[in-house]
Chain A
């Protein structure tokens, strides 16, 4: 069913601008129905469900408008029956103006604020959780807008309890991620699960935005420590934050070193280049000629570069060995990680010149024409 034209603008605004909370996640709209019992030809959907990411969960609220009285403010059904904010407290609901395309977005935002407070208050009954939450706020740099809490409740017990924390890591120098799909803003979010208020089996999970993950070399590449038994968020969260900040700095540094070296090679040998990695600067290859003898040189940088020397591979274009072009790997040569990119390039060039003749001889002996 389609939304009634009375409400198109406000629903569209919600879907486009409705990015709430720590994760800035998009709000989805689904399950559109009509409150009227008569069948109509024109779209008349005036009730629908919205799905909002919050604290690692997706909360579902039902919005109920009235197609026959579009100026009337909406009613809501919250899946959590204990959440019952006072309408008079929701200013944007009191001042509902259907002519304002953002009116629904404003109401949802305000309701979410109340919802957040509702969950914060739920912690007060449990001293350990309350301590975890308030100590994070009072004794770390984290502000309230970076933390979301959610408690799952049944008749008998409370749990699991989620703490979703956005870590204020500075990602500004992260290498670019060139892709046509907008990778979005950079962020690192920690989701911590308490199975019950006093449990010691606390499980943390780290979520990185695509560009950050790409810069770190993939999702598996950063391990966060397990939550120590008997530990608390006050110690744990800053530890993870420091770990991330260090990783960012390290990643940026080694990225710059790779880029510097590739640039140095290009400036020496740009007119002989075959291909190079223009994204992560992990490799570059050239075609060289020495006394009418042509050969290919591959230069590959490991993630541990500059600690580890670039790996050089000489490859023949005339001789084969075992059905593949004859090649030799050279990874142990005079090298220091302290050299600058230009100095490394110069020294590697010397090494290549010193070893071509031997490579040529060896390729003729070992290879077949």
Chain B
């Protein structure tokens, strides 16, 4: 899994996101020791902060070291996908792909915190190349201000959903509500090859007694 993180406005939810990510990393590693994580930060250009590692603590300190960012008008998605396409090798399709699992998959977890910065995506070439692999997945967590006429949250969220061209992504949003952020990040733990589609997920536990009564 590689993360993209972009902090929000001045009073950053950065701390919140960092904590939620910390839970995510610890939990994901508990699920399987073999998972690895890389961290990419987006300033005016995408930059690789931490290369793939299973060392959760090192990612968390890299996160802690990241300074809060500056306001930027829009976010350049092309530079991000260009960087990923360049730096992350995807497994080749080998053997009978309906039976054989790949040695690993690559999941991009895009964490976006802008309530006003639109996503600009001029050149989709790199994205298309990545997305054409059955072993590449794009997930997103959008943290934003409560929706109002003053911001463009809905539009931004729609643009994020547009990136789900294969219909296999998990795209979540949370309006600066800590509990909801933690809940959504937990849902993102699910392995893309084993999880249900986002439209099918259901986590509520029913009491067996309740069910048999009705």
Contact = CB atoms under 8 A, between A and B. Distances in A.
A274 B182 contact: no
Interface in A313-361: 315, 317-318, 320, 324-325, 346, 349-350, 352-353, 356
A274 B99 contact: no
Contacts of B196: 270-271, 273
B32 interface: yes
A40 interface: no
B186 interface: yes
B194 interface: yes
Contacts, number: 84
Contact of A271 (B32, B202, B207): B202
Contacts of A286: 203
A287 B186 contact: yes
A96 interface: no
Tell me whether chain B's interface is mostly helix, strand or loop, or mixed: loop
A298 interface: yes
Nearest to A288: B205
In this complex, the member of B26, B190, B203, B207 whose beta carbon has the largest number of chain A beta carbons within 10 angstroms is B203
Contact of A317 (B27, B32, B95, B190): B27
Given A178-B100, A285-B31, A274 B190 contact: yes
Given A180-B100, A315-B27, A278 B194 contact: yes
Interface residues of B, number: 31
In this complex, the member of A270, A294, A320 whose beta carbon has the largest number of chain B beta carbons within 10 angstroms is A294
A286 to B, nearest CB: 8
B200 A271 contact: yes
A302 B194 CA distance: 22
For the complex of A and B, the 10 pairs showing the least CB-CB separation, nearest first, are A271-B202, A289-B203, A275-B191, A180-B95, A317-B186, A275-B31, A180-B94, A274-B190, A272-B203, A288-B205
Contacts of A275: 31-32, 189-191, 194
B201 A272 contact: yes
B179 interface: yes
B159 interface: no
